Amino acid sequence: MLLRPYQRVLDTCEPYLIARPPVREGLDASPLGLDIPAANIFDPQRVAGSTFIQLVKHVDELAYGPVGLSMPAWVFYDCAVMPGAVFGFARRARHLESWARRALAVPDGYEGLVPVSIFICIPTVARSAALVYTLCSVNQIAPGAAPEGLWRLTLAAGTQAFRLTEMLATCQWRSPQLGLYAGLGPLRLQTAWTPAHDNPATCTFRVTADANGRERLLRGDLLGPEGIHRYIDADDTQAMRALQAEIESGVEVAVVGPAEIRGSDTRVPLQVGSDAEPITTEPGAGFTRRFQG
């Protein structure tokens, strides 16, 4: 039922996994009930599959290069497939139109899988949360190369493939990805202004990524206005610094929905927690259900 609106994705894309055998054993091979075919599982320590892995790196570069966050090639091995794994969806090369094959640098004569989304997850020392540092869809760079909803489905299926309950991630305030993550539930901010990152206008957050969160994400639930305490201007760096100061002083703040955009203004809805009123977006606290691709 939850996946019915995503039928076009399911009809044209197949899940894939890049993982070493010890990692693979611990993952869910049928996230959201979508079986990952054995032929779509690649061991990064084997030579076979290296063309597909190069295509994954290329999609990552196309998605993150333009915002100055290219992944150095060695990082993919050292910081993705060795400690964790890569999940996503792919299409058969022959099913891609020629313009899409060119956009994705598919080699001439290649008939195998072509990645159209990427979800990279690695453990943290604390193990209480896993870190997701890449989430992208080919629709960001070549709109129409895959059906709408791919980004959202990749996040939902990725969190289940990795059996996540708690996720740690970073995102730029102006990125539409922030709203996508917020579909899982409140993004509890760890930083609002991050000089440790190349783009300080980056936030760091933790979010519960359990079955309820995935259902919310897939439905596209949005929080009603009564659940929003205030907004932050996604272009106001002074406001980010002020929010960072609040967080460092112990205030609990969460992003509770996608940005609202009017003209050139982008504002992100926030909720401020307290002992009396913890942060929540559970139904009954003002949820409206509205599908958003």
Partner 1 sequence: MIHTSNDAILRDYGTFVVSTPANRPHLDAAPFGLDLRWDIDPTRLESATFLTLLQRLDALTFGPEGMPMDLWVFYDCAELPGFIYGFAIDAKRLTTHERVIFDLPPGYEGPVPLSMYIAIPMYEKGAWFGHNLASLNLTFPERRLYALGTITKAIALRAYKAERFFGATQWTSRALYIHTKFGVLDLHTTWTPAHSIPATLTYAFDVTEEKLRAAAGDPAIILERPEPDFHLDSEDTDGMQALQAQIEGGARFQLIGPPSVQAGRTLHPLRRAD
Give the integer Cα–Cα distance in Å for 79 and 102. 28
Residue number with CB closer to partner 1 (20 or 229): 20
| Contacting positions for partner 1 (CB under 8 A) | 20, 22-23, 26, 44-47, 50, 53-54, 69-79, 81-85, 122-129, 131, 133, 168, 170, 190-191, 193-199, 204, 241, 244-245, 248
In the complex, what is the shortest distance from the CB of residue 238 to partner 1, in angstroms, rounded to a whole number? Answer: 13
Residue number with CB closer to partner 1 (248 or 282): 248
Q: Six-digit token pair at 284? A: 């009954």
In the complex, what is the shortest distance from the CB of residue 227 to partner 1, in angstroms, rounded to a whole number? Answer: 26
Residue number with CB closer to partner 1 (14 or 166): 166
Q: Six-digit token pair at 207? A: 């979010």
In the complex, what is the shortest distance from the CB of residue 213 to partner 1, in angstroms, rounded to a whole number? Answer: 19
Main-chain phi, psi angles of 265, to 5 degrees: -100, 135
Q: How far is CA 48 from CA 40, 69, 72, 82, 83, in A?
A: 12, 28, 22, 17, 20
In the complex, what is the shortest distance from the CB of residue 85 to partner 1, in angstroms, rounded to a whole number? Answer: 7
In the complex, what is the shortest distance from the CB of residue 205 to partner 1, in angstroms, rounded to a whole number? Answer: 11
Q: How far is CA 59 from CA 27, 49, 109, 142, in A?
A: 23, 16, 19, 10
Residue number with CB closer to partner 1 (191 or 281): 191
In the complex, what is the shortest distance from the CB of residue 132 to partner 1, in angstroms, rounded to a whole number? Answer: 10
Residue number with CB closer to partner 1 (12 or 190): 190
Residue number with CB closer to partner 1 (1 or 196): 196
Residue number with CB closer to partner 1 (140 or 191): 191
In the complex, what is the shortest distance from the CB of residue 248 to partner 1, in angstroms, rounded to a whole number? Answer: 6
Residue number with CB closer to partner 1 (161 or 218): 161
Give the integer Cα–Cα distance in Å for 257 and 269. 6
Give the integer Cα–Cα distance in Å for 261 and 103. 29
In the complex, what is the shortest distance from the CB of residue 222 to partner 1, in angstroms, rounded to a whole number? Answer: 28
